Structure 1
């Protein structure tokens, strides 16, 4: 099973996070259309993996979005899944965050996130089946090796106004700079 289920610290137990990665995605345009149409069967955070520097980068956005939902009880976007994509952004422009970090018609590497809750329980198995039916691509492990293979360093540098990483290797300094910009926007 390529899907991973995580229980993030300081997040109540019913809020499991199911994460699945895909490479060689060929139907990104269709998936994006379903999201824009508000199709509830496609209520996932579809993140373009080329804009991510590490698993910690993705998980920081997931944690912030669930925190906004449960603690602040205020989302800036339609649901916790779109909030995850928004939380990746270093600024408060929702449209720009979807354009830079969300699925686009040219996305070929994808990280899919589904947050389960008491109100909307979904098992890891059910999530995996639904995603494998919806996404035309090859399942991949959600890990830092996958991130290193898919990251578009020029895109990351442009999004976060940083220096590009070298040779596809995330440096601790670059990762901290990206995470710091996300956090500063969240608290600012």
Structure 2
């Protein structure tokens, strides 16, 4: 049976925990908790725009590198993660597009150095069905991904994947 929660080592001594939800019915309430400083910070991502967990791992590496260099573009590590997933240098656009909206129904939850009780609190907040991360491809809206990252059909020829195209956009962001 596939695991419902995946934890990756991102840097020595640092981890990133991911949990995937579908049929989310209370995205508006979840969004309201983002600004609540009394709760642990999470990155709540629109899962329909995430093609592969590797994309989140890449963005996590970039966020941790920016933090260690004292060069965060955003105000926190978790918003830096959302910004890092985007192929654009526009912070507000990145957070709007890849964060959750009031009508979001698929949600990918992420937290650096997550403790079990923090994860349990976040899981209890979300009114949706938690599913294994291996279901992410079935929840991805490929047309929307292509539009957001400006992926052309020619890029997907010759054995190249949509994940390859997205990773290229993320990696090239600093060169634009």
Q: TM-score, normalised by structure 1?
A: 0.82
By how many angstroms is 1:158 displaced? 1.1
Provide, for residues 106-131 of structure 1, a one-character-per-residue CA deviation record: whole Å limited to 9, x for no partner: 11111111101xxxxx42x2133112
User: In the alignment, what sits opposite 2:137?
Assistant: 148
Unaligned segments of structure 2, at least 5 residues: 154-158
User: In the alignment, what sits opposite 2:123?
Assistant: 132
1:77-88 superposed matches below 5 A = 77-88=74-85
Q: Which has the higher strand share?
A: 2
Provide, for residues 125-151 of structure 1, a one-character-per-residue CA deviation record: whole Å limited to 9, x for no partner: 2133112221111111123xx221111
1:156 partner SS: helix
Distance 1:61 1:176 in 2: 14
Q: CA RMSD in A?
A: 1.8
Of 156, 161, 171 in structure 2, the residue corresponding to residue 173 of structure 1 is 161
Given that 2:40 and 2:118 are in contact with CA atoms closer than 8 Å, whether structure 1 keeps it comes out as no
Distance 1:98 1:158 in 2: 16
User: In the alignment, what sits opposite 2:106?
Assistant: 109
By how many angstroms is 1:89 displaced? 1.1
CA pair 90-40 structure 1, distance change in 2 beyond 3 A: farther
Provide, for residues 74-111 of structure 1, a one-character-per-residue CA deviation record: whole Å limited to 9, x for no partner: 21111110110000111111110011111111111111
Given that 1:34 and 1:42 are in contact with CA atoms closer than 8 Å, whether structure 2 keeps it comes out as no
Number of positions where the alignment pairs a residue of Structure 1 with one of Structure 2: 169
CA pair 92-25 structure 1, distance change in 2 beyond 3 A: same
1:7 partner SS: strand
Q: TM-score, normalised by structure 2?
A: 0.88
